[in-house]
Amino acid sequence: MKFSVLVIFLLSGQSAASVLEEVVVTATRFDQQTQSLTTNIAAIDNVQLERANHTHPNEVFQRVAGVWISRGNGQESLTSIRSPVLTGAGACGAFLKAQDGIPLQASGFCNVNELFGAQSETATRIEVIKGPGSALHGSNAMHGLINIITPSISANGDSRVHFEGGPHDYYRLKINHHQDFWRLDMSTTNDAGYKNDSGFNQQKATFKLAGNLGSFDTITAISITNLDQETAGFIQGPLAYKSAQRKRDNPNPEAFRDATTFRVHSRLHRQLASGSVLILTPYFRRIEMNFLQHFLPGQALEENGHTSFGLQAFWRNVNGGVMGFDLEQTSGYLRESQVKPTIGSSFLVATIPQGRHYDYRVDATSVAAFVHKNHELSPRTNLVLGARYEIISYDYHNKMRSGRTREDGTACGFGGCRFSRPIDRTDSFINFSPKVGLTYHLSEKHQLYTRLAQGFRAPQTTELYRLQSGQSIAQIDSEALVSLELGIRGGNNFFSYDLSTYTMRKNNVIFRNTERMNVDNGKTRHAGIELSLSNSFSKQVSAGLNFSLANHEYANNPTLVTSSIKSNEIDTAPRLAGSANLNWHIQENLNVELEWVHVGKYYTDPQNTAKYEGHDLLNLRANLDMSFRWSLTARLINLTDRDYAERADFSFGNHRYFVGDPRSLYIGLRVSL
């Protein structure tokens, strides 16, 4: 099957844009053609987004080679970009996720599920940088970067309303409306959930206003999201996801997650007399989230949030050189409290008490300066240089008794409580990340590119101050990753391709060891080949393919477990993954897409003793324009009704699964106003 899909793309066709001519914005904060970049950047355009019409980010990011957004329950997710699916308190720090170029979360305060706070449902474009970001991207842009781009005020198209319904009391309403100087994009979604006692309600809105401030042109955006989710937990047992009697089970009907976000930014753009451009972007964000830790003994309630003020400033000269700085000031908090007694062994009962476990505040300051330069070595060869210097400082204040006691100061049994609270302290981390790359035009339509880059992530606040066992200070430093990449890309009027290979080494990997202490002595290796193809066979038929073959392994013996794991594959890292789609305009007003999604087998534990077999899914989508104003949309997800797991895990001695939904039909009606 895989070979036959690939053969399709070797046939002749007509009318498709070359990847070299694609215009992207994320790498340098201004429009550039891909051919001027050594960064590996992929884009999901408006046509693909409308076609996918996704209910979860997982459904659209599978169109990018080397990217997997592993779906949890409801709107939850874990991320993989040229990496395993990373878990743990600060694992989300390996990826930078942004909306319109502004990070979704503050530096040091990432959240693994933060994509549910982005407006991907109404986005006009999504761009993904694979591997370390450019010099314009700082801490967290280590394995990669996701930028959700919302529609511009000047975007073409009518105002419209799209209503969609599906199984399990699912419905969604999307509204897009724009005038000459403002626009509004919003969505509201209800889903009662396939699993028992699960589901979510979610609302999102972005308002944009164009104006002037002195000599600056301005675009101001206000973005609000709200999530009210009843969360279903893992089901346990070997191959439980295949059991018709177990698939809808929810062992944690009490679990929930509530999250709100409020973001404002204003982009001030000024064209200078010299032809250079100055752009200033002040921004504000407020994030709050409460959820039950149903996956841990004691099921404590976590409440966290942060408020940030920031400024992005950069100047671009007429030759495309960029320099600038980023500033951010954040005040964040975290509280953890347990209402009910712990259920389990005498050890768990004695060491995980009721009451408050943590209650602290962290004030963080991030300052960075960067430079990015393109230099033409010859008519065919271009050199790209960049560097970033960044300092992030944390000022931590504990609002409870320090140490590993109960809230009232009494001691726990078995040597002390699990939870350890450091005394007030400050920490600072300094990072320097250079980048160098080359592009070489084999011809007008085909290009070689290579890049050597370093990425980093500072420790997250939860890794530093949410300690356990006898640890009183987390003596950890920033993670560092070095990436070397070589690729070839190009195309012609009908065919487009991008083939790349990479190798990466990561040091100072932060993890929680077998003694429940946060340490940074892990090392990992990552290597892979990625292929993206698109082809138009005719005006009616086109196809796309995006696949990755990768290996992610431990490069030393970190004390994650008691046995040796050096050279083992890292868990939740399928070697082969990707998707292909065939798009057919049956008639001028009728479009049908068939999509194949492949997730290869992967280990679910560091010892490589437990495994998930992988899966293949087929999805069918259609759009019928009934008139100039009215359109009918349909999506048949999991066409063959395959039993599969969205996520497989092995923990606490059990196979655990988030079960994939059975065959599901969604019907929608779109009206242009």
What the chain holds in terms of domains, given with CATH numbers, is 2-672 (2.40.170.20)
- Phi and psi at 291, nearest 5°, equal -155, 155
Name the pairing type of β-strands 322-338 and 355-376. antiparallel
pLDDT at 12: 39
- For residue 145, with 0-12 CB atoms within 10 Å meaning exposed, 13-18 middle and 19 or more buried, which class applies? buried
Both tokens of 105, joined, read 């979360």
Cα Dmax for the chain: 76
Q: Are 464 and 396 a contacting pair, CB within 8 Å? A: yes
Angle at 21 (CA atoms; ends 127, 271), nearest 5 degrees: 75
Q: Are 459 and 474 a contacting pair, CB within 8 Å? A: yes
The Cα 289–Cα 149 span in angstroms is 24
pLDDT at 260: 98
Both tokens of 123, joined, read 């986005």
Helix then strand then coil, in percent of the chain rounded to 5, is 5, 55, 40
Phi-psi region of 392 (alpha: psi -120 to 50; beta: other; left: phi over 0): beta
| CA 462 to each of CA 114, 277, 431: distance values in angstroms, whole numbers, following the listed order | 15, 39, 19
| CA 388 to each of CA 92, 141, 311: distance values in angstroms, whole numbers, following the listed order | 21, 12, 16
Q: Which helix (H) or strand (E) holds 4?
A: helix 2-8
- For residue 436, with 0-12 CB atoms within 10 Å meaning exposed, 13-18 middle and 19 or more buried, which class applies? middle
The Cα 552–Cα 547 span in angstroms is 16
The Cα 530–Cα 487 span in angstroms is 9
- Taking only the tens place, the pLDDT of each residue in 264-321 is 999 999 999 888 999 999 999 999 999 999 989 999 999 999 999 999 999 999 888 8
Handedness of CA 644, 645, 650, 652 (dihedral sign): negative
The Cα 402–Cα 493 span in angstroms is 66
DSSP string, 512-535: E-TTS-EEEEEEEEEEEEEEEEEE
HEC assignment per residue over 312-375: EEEEECCCCCEEEEEEEEEEEEEEEEECCCCCCCHHHHHHCCCEEEEEEEEEEEEEEEEEEEEE
Q: How confident is the model at residue 499 (pLDDT cuts 50, 70, 90)?
A: very high
- Taking only the tens place, the pLDDT of each residue in 580-596 is 999 999 999 999 999 99
State the average pLDDT for the chain: 93
Q: Are 22 and 31 a contacting pair, CB within 8 Å? A: no
pLDDT at 3: 44
- For residue 31, with 0-12 CB atoms within 10 Å meaning exposed, 13-18 middle and 19 or more buried, which class applies? exposed
Which range of 133-137, 157-161, 182-186 scores highest in mean pLDDT? It is 182-186
Q: How confident is the model at residue 10 (pLDDT cuts 50, 70, 90)?
A: very low
**Neighbouring residues of 43: CB distance < 8 A, sequence distance ≥ 6:** 22, 24, 125, 126, 127, 128
| More confident site: 156 or 404 | 404
CB count, 10 Å around CB of 148?
Answer: 24
Q: Which helix (H) or strand (E) holds 2?
A: helix 2-8
pLDDT at 18: 60
- Taking only the tens place, the pLDDT of each residue in 596-653 is 999 999 999 999 999 999 999 999 999 999 999 999 999 999 999 999 999 999 988 8
Percent residues over pLDDT 70 in the chain: 97
> Which amino acid is located at 99 in the chain?
Q
| CA 383 to each of CA 250, 321, 324, 663: distance values in angstroms, whole numbers, following the listed order | 55, 12, 20, 50
